[in-house]
Amino acid sequence: MLFFEARRTRLSGTATPSPLNLYQLRRTCSTCSLSELCLPMGLESGDMQRLEELVALRGPVNEGDHLFRVGDPLRVLYAVRGGFFKSYLVEANGREQVLGFHLPGELIGLDAIWPEQHQCNAVALNTASVCELPYAGLSDLGRQVPGLQHSMLRLLSKELALSHSLAGDYSAEERVAGFLLSLSSRMKARGHSETHLTLAMSRRDIANYLRLATETVSRVFSRFEQDGLVSVDRREVMLRDLEKLGQIGRCFTVG
Amino acid sequence: MLFFEARRTRLSGTATPSPLNLYQLRRTCSTCSLSELCLPMGLESGDMQRLEELVALRGPVNEGDHLFRVGDPLRVLYAVRGGFFKSYLVEANGREQVLGFHLPGELIGLDAIWPEQHQCNAVALNTASVCELPYAGLSDLGRQVPGLQHSMLRLLSKELALSHSLAGDYSAEERVAGFLLSLSSRMKARGHSETHLTLAMSRRDIANYLRLATETVSRVFSRFEQDGLVSVDRREVMLRDLEKLGQIGRCFTVG
DNA sequence: CGCTATTTTGAGCCGCGTCAATACGGGTGG
DNA sequence: CCACCCGTATTGACGCGGCTCAAAATAGCG
């Protein structure tokens, strides 16, 4: 903790943090730019410090590395610190099913709380890092800190609403537009551009997530580009008409 | 409470409870046959009594009555005591979207925890009754009773997993078979026949829930009947080959 | 510079939705 | 008791959106 304190003090004076020292800023919840999106949202600084004592940072997670797999006992929940993750499961027939993409500040593994076993796999889409939150400790602390318990329920409840909105029967265009807008707003909330997206995931993953064929996603991208809604170059996407996209897309954005 | 105590004592000697006194048995969690499925699952009798003090019973809810609507502030969570409910939402385009059906012992309104407003509508499919669980009190009690907090997280987590399994891209037959099996296992867990189902919901509701057209559900029912998998008479459904249904159906059953 | 994975584009087909007609059942009133 | 009505369910015909299969671009990499 002394080390962290020293860091915090030393860095607190920096004006505009560059990506380099962002990781150092994120060594504690108190100094993490994501704290208002993440689990500690709304906690007082005293409570936040108690949470910090639980948190263990986990260094670079390489692309393709798994945080956990189906059936693993629930030891810790993960909060994304940097990078992108996807969660997915493999069905009886062998097909993969992408459940979601996880940006910095988002929690992974919530659906493992029952029955204390992970229900899906989680893999890094690029070089990433995470915070490990021991579930047992979190559960204890939640009992003492009202805000924390509520925060956990809130995050679960939110994820449930998101899942509901994805389950609807929407057309391919509605789905793709909704996906782009969701990503856009989440990136914006994290201080990035809401119009210039760099997709960390492949077309195949997007398609699978949206329950479409890869070809269909590709075609919709092309159509959107023809209509001047977006500019697509490989995994770089520029949203050119948020208004129209919003009219087309189902709102997958929750929060 | 004295009244309840008296009831409990007087009824505890009855051998096979008829539907009539089932409602009386269910006046407290301790004597409710659903307690092992419901929120109090796994609580010690002391903790359960503290939970009982929170619970308010709500008399007959008539078919078509709403427990809550989108936007209502979260005051209480509901546990179904008797009857069937459905939760649904109405989208921008005016179409209805059925989110789920709720059997006795199941909780309704969990997705309202964030942001303390109901995110969907809940309506009784037939004459029903519910327990009202004030969320504030539940939240407080959860902090004192470890098992209760975990129980709430568990139920949310479970619902999330269910929602995930529904979101997959399954064929009409997979969906219908999965739906029947889910209902079957839930009815079995409640002491009813797992082969003889009485559907409380219309074909339209089933279709909407499964993201299919009514006609498609009807056609699949007919096909299943031709193949000897089920016998269908109006809303009475007899499952004749659970084995084959299980091979066809995606497992929507969680718990 | 080839090799491979990913993405894009095209052609054809199929499952499911849409539209329409019919059948069934339950309730109401004569 | 039957005639009538209306909501629900079934069945058929047809069209379309998106999946499948196939092939051609394009990028990444040794």
DSSP output for A4-61: HHHHHHHHTT-SS--HHHHHHHTTSTTT-TTTTTSTTTT--HHHHHHHHHH-EEEEEE
The closest CB to that of A157, out of B142, B156, B255, belongs to: B156
Question: Which tokens in the block code for residue A226?
Answer: 């023809």
Question: Among residues A142, A21, A138, A122, which one has the least CA distance to residue A80?
Answer: A122
Question: Among residues B34, B94, B29, B73, which one has the least CA distance to residue B55?
Answer: B29
Q: Do A163 and B158 touch (CB under 8 A)?
A: no
Q: Give the model's confidence band at A93: pLDDT under 50 very low, under 70 low, under 90 confident, else very high.
A: confident
Q: Do B153 and A97 touch (CB under 8 A)?
A: no
Q: In chain B, what residues touch A112 (CB-CB under 8 Å)? A: 157
Return the amino acid letter for B129: S
Instruction: Please calculate the CA angle B26-B160-A211 and round it to the nearest 5 degrees.
Output: 140
Q: In chain B, what residues touch A152 (CB-CB under 8 Å)? A: 153
How many Cα neighbours within 13 Å face the side chain of B189? 18
Which nucleotides of chain C have an atom under 7 angstroms from any protein CB?
6-11, 15-20, 25
The closest CB to that of A152, out of B99, B143, B153, belongs to: B153
The reply to whether A177 Cβ lies less than 7 angstroms from strand D is no
Instruction: Please calculate the CA angle A203-A252-B122 and round it to the nearest 5 degrees.
Output: 140
Between A26 and A81, whose confidence is greater? A81
| Protein residue closest via CA to C1' of D21 | A215
Q: How far is the CA of B198 from the C1' of D10 (A)?
A: 19
Return the amino acid letter for A150: H
pLDDT tens for B210-255 read: 999 999 999 999 999 999 999 999 999 999 999 999 999 876 654 4
Return the amino acid letter for A210: L
**In B33-145, which residue ranges form alpha helices assigned H by DSSP?**
45-54, 135-144
**What crossing angle do the helices spanning B146-167 and B135-144 adopt, rounded to 10°?**
120
Between A248 and B166, whose confidence is greater? A248
Q: In chain A, what residues touch B164 (CB-CB under 8 Å)? A: 89, 99, 111, 119-120, 163
Q: How far is the CA of A111 from the C1' of D27 (A)?
A: 37
Q: How far is the CA of B216 from the C1' of C20 (A)?
A: 15
| Protein residue closest via CA to C1' of D18 | A216
Strands (E), B137-252: 196-198, 230-233, 236-239
Q: In chain B, what residues touch A160 (CB-CB under 8 Å)? A: 110-111, 156, 159-160, 163
Q: How far is B15 from chain A (nearest CA, A)?
A: 34
Q: Give the model's confidence band at A24: pLDDT under 50 very low, under 70 low, under 90 confident, else very high.
A: low
The reply to whether B198 Cβ lies less than 7 angstroms from strand D is no
pLDDT tens for B93-149 read: 778 899 999 999 999 999 898 888 999 999 999 999 999 999 999 989 988 888 888
Q: Give the model's confidence band at B25: pLDDT under 50 very low, under 70 low, under 90 confident, else very high.
A: low
Q: Do B112 and A154 touch (CB under 8 A)?
A: no
Q: Do B153 and A114 touch (CB under 8 A)?
A: yes
Instruction: Report how far residue A42's alpha carbon sits from residue B218's, in angstroms, rounded to the nearest whole number.
Output: 50
Question: Among residues B62, B65, B39, which one has the least CA distance to residue B52?
Answer: B39
Q: How far is A244 from chain B (nearest CA, A)?
A: 15
Between A149 and A85, whose confidence is greater? A85
Instruction: Give the phi and the psi of residue A80 in degrees, each rounded to 5.
Output: -70, 130
Q: What does the pLDDT read at residue B226?
A: 96
Q: Which residues 6+ apart lie within 8 Å of B134 measured at CB?
A: B54, B56, B75, B76
Instruction: Report how far residue A88's alpha carbon sits from residue A205's, in angstroms, rounded to the nearest whole number.
Output: 10
Q: Which residues 6+ apart lie within 8 Å of A81 measured at CB?
A: A23, A26, A32, A34, A57, A104, A128, A129, A130, A131
Cβ–Cβ contacts within 10 Å for residue A177, how many? Answer: 26
Nearest nucleotide, CA A221 to C1': C8
- Give me the B residues in range 109-138 that sit within 7 A (CB) of strand D: none
Question: Which tokens in the block code for residue B112?
Answer: 């309202």
Q: In chain B, what residues touch A139 (CB-CB under 8 Å)? A: 146, 149-150
pLDDT tens for A176-235 read: 999 999 999 999 999 999 999 999 999 999 999 999 999 999 999 999 999 999 999 999
User: Are B135 and A154 within 8 A, CB to CB?
Assistant: no
Question: Which tokens in the block code for residue A74?
Answer: 């629930």
Mean pLDDT across chain A: 87
Q: Is the pLDDT of residue A87 over 70?
A: yes
Question: Which tokens in the block code for residue B186?
Answer: 């839930």
b/e sequence B77-93, b meaning 16+ C-beta within 10 Å: bbbbbbbbbbbbbeeee
Q: How far is the CA of B234 from the C1' of C25 (A)?
A: 10
Domains in chain A: ranges and CATH: 2-166 (2.60.120.10), 172-249 (1.10.10.10)
